[in-house]
Amino acid sequence: MSRPRAQRRKKEPGDSPTMADLAKLAGVSAITVSRALRDSPLVNPETRAQIKALAERQGYMFNISARNLRLRRSMTVAVVVEMTPTIERQMSGPYPLDLLGGISQELTSSGYAVLLTSLQGGALPSVQAADGVILLGQGAHEDAMHQVRRWGRPMVVWGAVSRHESQVVVGSDNQRGGALAAERFMALGRRQPVFLGDAAHGEFAERLEGYGRALAGHGLSPLTPPVHGLTVSAGAAAVHALLDNQPQFDALFAASDLLAIGAIRALIERGRRVPEDVSVIGYDDTPLGATYLPPLSSVHQNFTDAGVLLARKILALIEGRPAQSEILPTNLVVRVT
Amino acid sequence: MSRPRAQRRKKEPGDSPTMADLAKLAGVSAITVSRALRDSPLVNPETRAQIKALAERQGYMFNISARNLRLRRSMTVAVVVEMTPTIERQMSGPYPLDLLGGISQELTSSGYAVLLTSLQGGALPSVQAADGVILLGQGAHEDAMHQVRRWGRPMVVWGAVSRHESQVVVGSDNQRGGALAAERFMALGRRQPVFLGDAAHGEFAERLEGYGRALAGHGLSPLTPPVHGLTVSAGAAAVHALLDNQPQFDALFAASDLLAIGAIRALIERGRRVPEDVSVIGYDDTPLGATYLPPLSSVHQNFTDAGVLLARKILALIEGRPAQSEILPTNLVVRVT
DNA sequence: CTGAAAGCGCTAACAA
DNA sequence: TTGTTAGCGCTTTCAG
């Protein structure tokens, strides 16, 4: 009947064969090939082995698009990252990469592909198509969150848990991190602690909260000089200003290693000894801090684990299982400062 | 005639509409919707505007899988990264993320999706499906290269250009970077230079080559003590050993900032002053080096640009255009050391 | 400028 | 255990 119309591109000999091709070669039907390649128990083990061998021999390549179209899903999770490294708020250090590593590892082994995007330019269609979305980056993702929610896509966010009640958020235990710093200072007998970091930043606010609460238990409350930015120089500038105004302090907890290093630099420039005169603790336990002279004590978090957790949460949501926000433990790595 | 068989899943009202749905609503055919949404000049501007408005209003979501199936391409580029952070060869620092940023930016704006993978576990199908592959990571990708080549997929590699003649490689000008370090030492009047780095590493070998050649122009040749690893402590250990055996040197060029920092630490521990007794230059210009005390001079390379270039090359190959290996400029950032 | 027909490669349902 | 049928949503012919 219907005469076959012109094909757009004749199947070239070099092309990878389709399941139908394999089926013909194996003398079975396409669906059997499909089942065999997916290790379905519905197919005879021998048949399966033969088909798999044949596929291998023929250089068969599975067509993901066809499956996704058929299944009405993309088997893809989009990871939205703030990648434009604004000078003042760079997503730098090993942190994002470790996070990505954990995510990718977990998702890949569950058969999902990881789509990396910054949600700028023409990224939208592929993010829309994703079965789920993971939001990384230091906040500023309010807009992205609304966008994704409007699409009705499952979503998991990395960041400050307390700030997004309605979202599934994975974050490290910033409050506990702050408390650890405070406890350390108390153990060292320090009595005039500083917190260095802009609390407008959600995670920083949590760190300050834990720090302040723990100090309050000892009848103390921290100085919180204004800090503008996240860089080494921002930290140095803030401490210089602080030394001008309120030079009486003997301990300093910075919301990031970068700020901590800036602080140390300023302190040394002004003739304060670290750690004799001022104890300093940073956050993130970056190689930068660890290799600094003096080596910086810092609150550590395991980003690879965090990535794995983010991945598990999004998988749960995609599969219709429930998922709650979760807080990862933090611990203090004591070095010299 | 053919009675419609049971649909697997009835089109739910909540589902995003298809082009066919839009077509019905707009009183046109599906193909017209397709053309309108793609800004085809074949469609009447008014019609197009109406259709686009309708799509927006209806919350239409483009089905990428369907298009890809039809087009027989995936509009995807796989980026294979070495993400398992082995202690000794971590892909750390901002470097890979900047590279990824450049890649993602360029590819996304060309309508391609960026698939992040480490080529372990179940990643193969989606990498196979990609229209092109970008290989990052510090070498050790020989196997991955062969794999991808066997699939006949276009491929671009980041790394040492001189090492892979048959591949399209983008790398920074490691030889020039080494030469810059040598020239700086000569300008400072140094006469006994060291190179710190394991030349088994392709990029390191190039750096040593440029360094050695430039020194040879002044009748000098560098000491090349054995180095085992890429970490701070590897650098420190190597320099300690060097000080035991051949303590006569006044300049040290390290193949990475990490090694350089280890070197500085060892030098200071052994009572050498930096930079008075020994000048040190690192490589990569990481924040780690920039904020060290003393701040580390280092060879800088622009990784975002490199990422963009990698993306352009792979796009060229995918579209059948030619592409050559290319070397990016490097420059020396002089700080205190 | 618009449309009708066909099919990309795969897999859920149903039937044998 | 295997096969038949149909169709996922899109876009390229080719014909108006």
Number of other residues whose CB lies within 10 A of the CB of residue A84: 13
Instruction: Report the range of poorest mean pLDDT among A11-15, B223-227, B312-316.
Output: A11-15
Over residues B206-222, mean pLDDT: 96
Give the chain A residue whose CA is nearest to the CA of B124.
Answer: A108
Q: Which of B83, B115, B262 sits opposite A101 (nearest CB)?
A: B83
Is the CB of residue B96 less than 8 Å from the CB of residue B300? no
What residues are paired with A168 via a beta bridge?
A156
Number of other residues whose CB lies within 10 A of the CB of residue A324: 9
Which positions of chain A have pLDDT values less than 70? Answer: 1-14, 83-95, 121-123, 137-141, 161-165, 337
DSSP secondary-structure letter at A223?
Answer: B
**Residue B5 Cβ < 7 Å to strand D:** yes
**pLDDT the model gives residue A287:** 78
> CA–CA separation, B117 vs B135, rounded Å?
10
> CA–CA separation, A324 vs B335, rounded Å?
48
Please answer yes or no on whether B126 and A64 come within 8 Å at the CB atom: yes
Q: What's the mean per-residue pLDDT of chain B?
A: 86
What is the C-alpha end-to-end distance of chain A, expressed in Å?
A: 85
Q: Which of B116, B121, B128 sits opposite A100 (nearest CB)?
A: B116
In this predicted structure, the answer to whether residue B93 has a pLDDT above a threshold of 60 is no
> Six-digit token pair at B116?
């992040």
> CA–CA separation, A81 vs A319, rounded Å?
23
Q: Which residues of A touch B101 (CB under 8 A)?
A: 83-85, 118
DSSP H or E segment with residue B252: strand B251-254
Bigger pLDDT: B158 or A143? B158
**pLDDT the model gives residue B86:** 43
Contacting residues 56-115/B vs strand D (CB within 7 A): 62-63, 66-67, 69-71
**pLDDT the model gives residue A13:** 63
Nearest of A331, A260, A269 to residue A295 by alpha carbon: A260
Give the chain A residue whose CA is nearest to the CA of B58.
Answer: A151
Is the CB of residue A309 less than 8 Å from the CB of residue A170? yes
> Six-digit token pair at B298?
């280092």
Instruction: Report the range of poorest mean pLDDT among A94-98, B296-300, B314-318.
Output: A94-98
Q: Which of B111, B121, B268 sits opposite A109 (nearest CB)?
A: B121
Nearest of A302, A281, A278 to residue A290 by alpha carbon: A281
**pLDDT the model gives residue B200:** 87
DSSP H or E segment with residue B328: strand B326-328
Going by pLDDT thresholds of 50, 70 and 90, the confidence category of residue B267 is very high
Contacting residues 262-281/B vs strand D (CB within 7 A): none
Percent of chain B with pLDDT over 90: 58
D4 C1' to A31 CA distance, Å: 10
- Nucleotide nearest residue B6, measured CA to C1': C13
Q: Which residues of A touch B90 (CB under 8 A)?
A: 94
**pLDDT the model gives residue B12:** 62
Give the chain B residue whose CA is nearest to the CA of A99.
Answer: B83
Is the CB of residue B201 less than 8 Å from the CB of residue B82? no
Is the CB of residue A43 less than 8 Å from the CB of residue A19? no
Is the CB of residue B99 less than 8 Å from the CB of residue A96? no
DSSP H or E segment with residue B157: strand B155-158
In this predicted structure, the answer to whether residue B306 has a pLDDT above a threshold of 60 is yes
**pLDDT the model gives residue B64:** 94
Tokens 């050559």 — which residue? B324
Closest residue by C-alpha to C1' distance, nucleotide D9: B66
Is the CB of residue B299 less than 8 Å from the CB of residue B332? yes
**pLDDT the model gives residue A206:** 92
> CA–CA separation, B266 vs B247, rounded Å?
12
Smallest Cα distance from B232 to chain A, Å: 8
In this predicted structure, the answer to whether residue B265 has a pLDDT above a threshold of 60 is yes
**pLDDT the model gives residue B112:** 92
Q: Which residues of B touch A109 (CB under 8 A)?
A: 121-122
Going by pLDDT thresholds of 50, 70 and 90, the confidence category of residue B139 is low
Smallest Cα distance from B128 to chain A, Å: 7
Q: Which domains does chain B have, with CATH numbers?
A: 19-62 (1.10.260.40), 76-170+303-327 (3.40.50.2300), 174-300 (3.40.50.2300)
Bigger pLDDT: B124 or A242? A242
Please answer yes or no on whether A121 and B105 come within 8 Å at the CB atom: yes
**pLDDT the model gives residue B232:** 86
